């Protein structure tokens, strides 16, 4: 393929994702369902305002990103940066790491103001934000350190594979990335999560007794010490519950905000939902799906990385593995957006199944009132546009979940 053909395909892919996102956001913004869901009785005016603020903010950010990437491609900025890092005369691996390091630093400078605005303006205005400037800064530094260490090592290994192995490097990368993902998931609740949050053991009392009794009836062997209360309230007022890790590192995490806002029966229904995910092996199944995705992705990468015209399309004169990775990422991100509709669909189905499990093993009215409260409290959109749900929702809209439970 000629460089210009590549360039046109690349621009079409990037523009398509931007336009689809724009259209879906506008549809969601103005969406008024003709048949009102009977279970929507509550006042959702605040949710709608929160939604509109977020859509406007999202579109502004997407536009800035879109224009930035277009300008970078059209002025040939990747080539300029490449010539600069090559000037140091380091080997291909170190040059690659330096190249990505500088890019990440630039990305960080562009993205941080958006993140500050989102946390301290939007989230604050709607009463969610409890993060102090100090916590925000510490979070930023911790995740930066994590990226430098894990990202740096991961990148170095991928570059070494491509430099040394040749044709089958993508397969080695896939095995490595899959193992890395499983490993990260395994250590996440015990080593990574505690870097950001305190996870206290649930104290003795009626809630602990009720959960213990429920787990016994379901023949689930999670140690009671592995049910942890997370200090989410130091950052946000939103409530959350999730199951993380597997094997002996498995943790059932409930946010302290959840404990504050829900009754014991509702919390038990939420715990039952999480146990549903566990019983039906949703986490390992999702892992398999992700690894199929990364397999296809890396195979595609191995095809384009061999074509020098692919590099010329971006104005890059010298081909290299690291630039190949970056250029591929630029076109792959929009492709992944469409691919994620499949993973999102599966994820939504799992949520319905977990709700069903909860409703079968605890009084279904408890899950209904728990969901109702979560929806109102977290200001979720009560009536999202179906196309928006199809493309981007990993969880079904709250009202659909309630309707399903009620049958
Ligand atoms: Zn769930």
Ligand 1 centroid–CA 380 distance in Å is 15
Ligand 1 centroid–CA 354 distance in Å is 6
Position 302 scores a pLDDT of: 86
Ligand 1 centroid–CA 346 distance in Å is 12
Ligand 1 centroid–CA 272 distance in Å is 10
Is the Cβ–Cβ distance between 199 and 254 less than 8 Å? no
Ligand 1 centroid–CA 8 distance in Å is 41
Active site residues: 274, 355
DSSP sequence for 346-361: HHHHHHHHHHHHHHHH
Is the Cβ–Cβ distance between 52 and 379 less than 8 Å? no
Question: SS3 of 318, please?
Answer: coil
Q: How would you write the pLDDT of the chain (407 residues) with one tens digit per residue?
A: 787 888 888 889 889 989 999 999 999 888 877 665 555 556 677 788 888 898 999 999 999 989 988 998 889 899 999 999 999 999 889 999 999 999 988 888 888 999 999 988 888 888 888 888 998 999 999 888 888 888 888 899 989 998 888 889 899 999 998 998 888 888 888 888 998 999 999 999 999 999 999 999 998 888 889 999 999 988 888 888 999 888 888 899 999 999 999 999 999 999 999 999 999 999 999 999 889 988 998 898 888 888 888 888 888 888 888 998 888 888 888 888 878 888 999 999 999 999 999 999 999 999 999 999 888 888 888 889 999 999 999 999 998 999 999 98
Ligand 1 centroid–CA 156 distance in Å is 35
Ligand 1 centroid–CA 208 distance in Å is 21
Ligand 1 centroid–CA 275 distance in Å is 9
Of 156, 182, 165, nearest in space to 325 by CA:
156
Of 171, 168, 150, 169, nearest in space to 160 by CA:
169
Taking every pair of Cα atoms in the chain, the longest distance, rounded to a whole number of angstroms, is 70
Question: SS3 of 230, please?
Answer: strand
- Residues in Cβ contact with 188 at an 8 Å cutoff, skipping those fewer than 6 apart: 244, 245, 249
First-to-final CA distance of the chain: 54
Is the Cβ–Cβ distance between 263 and 367 less than 8 Å? no
In Å, how far are 97, 156, 177, 301, 324 from 94, measured between CA atoms?
5, 8, 20, 21, 15
Structure tokens at 329: 């990422």
Ligand 1 centroid–CA 238 distance in Å is 16
């Amino acid at each position: 393929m000629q460089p210009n053909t590549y360039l046109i395909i690349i621009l079409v892919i990037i523009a398509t994702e931007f336009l689809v996102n724009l259209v879906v956001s506008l549809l969601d913004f103005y969406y008024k369902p003709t048949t009102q869901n009977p279970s929507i009785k509550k006042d959702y005016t605040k949710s709608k305002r929160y939604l509109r603020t977020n859509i406007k903010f999202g579109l502004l950010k997407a536009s800035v990103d879109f224009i930035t990437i277009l300008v970078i491609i059209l002025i040939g900025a990747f080539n300029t940066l490449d010539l600069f890092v090559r000037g140091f005369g380091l080997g291909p691996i170190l040059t690659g790491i330096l190249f990505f390091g500088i890019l990440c630093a630039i990305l960080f400078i562009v993205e941080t103001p958006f993140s500050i605005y989102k946390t301290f303006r939007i989230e604050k205005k709607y009463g969610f934000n409890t993060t102090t400037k100090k916590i925000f800064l510490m979070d930023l530094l911790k995740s930066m350190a994590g990226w430098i260490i894990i990202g740096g090592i991961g990148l170095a290994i991928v570059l070494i594979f491509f430099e040394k192995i040749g044709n089958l490097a993508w397969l080695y990368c896939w095995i490595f990335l899959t193992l890395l993902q499983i490993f990260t998931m395994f250590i996440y609740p015990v080593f990574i999560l505690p870097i950001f949050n305190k996870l206290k053991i649930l104290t003795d009392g009626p809630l602990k007794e009720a959960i213990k009794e429920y787990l016994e009836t379901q023949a689930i062997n999670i140690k009671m010490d592995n049910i942890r209360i997370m200090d989410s309230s130091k950052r946000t007022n939103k409530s959350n519950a999730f199951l993380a890790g597997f094997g002996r590192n498995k943790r059932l995490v409930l946010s302290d905000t959840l404990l504050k806002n829900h009754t014991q029966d509702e919390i038990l229904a939420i715990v039952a939902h999480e146990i549903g995910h566990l019983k039906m092996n949703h986490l390992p199944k999702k892992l398999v799906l992700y690894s199929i995705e990364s397999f296809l992705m890396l195979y595609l990468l191995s095809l384009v990385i061999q074509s020098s015209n692919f590099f010329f399309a971006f104005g890059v004169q010298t081909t290299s593995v690291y630039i190949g990775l970056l250029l591929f990422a630029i076109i792959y991100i929009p492709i992944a957006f469409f691919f994620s509709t499949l993973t999102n669909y599966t994820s939504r189905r799992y949520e319905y199944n977990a709700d069903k499990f909860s409703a079968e093993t605890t009084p279904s009215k408890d899950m209904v009132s728990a969901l109702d409260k979560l929806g109102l409290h977290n200001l979720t959109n009560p009536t999202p546009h179906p196309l928006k749900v199809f493309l981007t929702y990993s969880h079904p809209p709250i009202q659909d979940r309630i309707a399903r439970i009620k049958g």
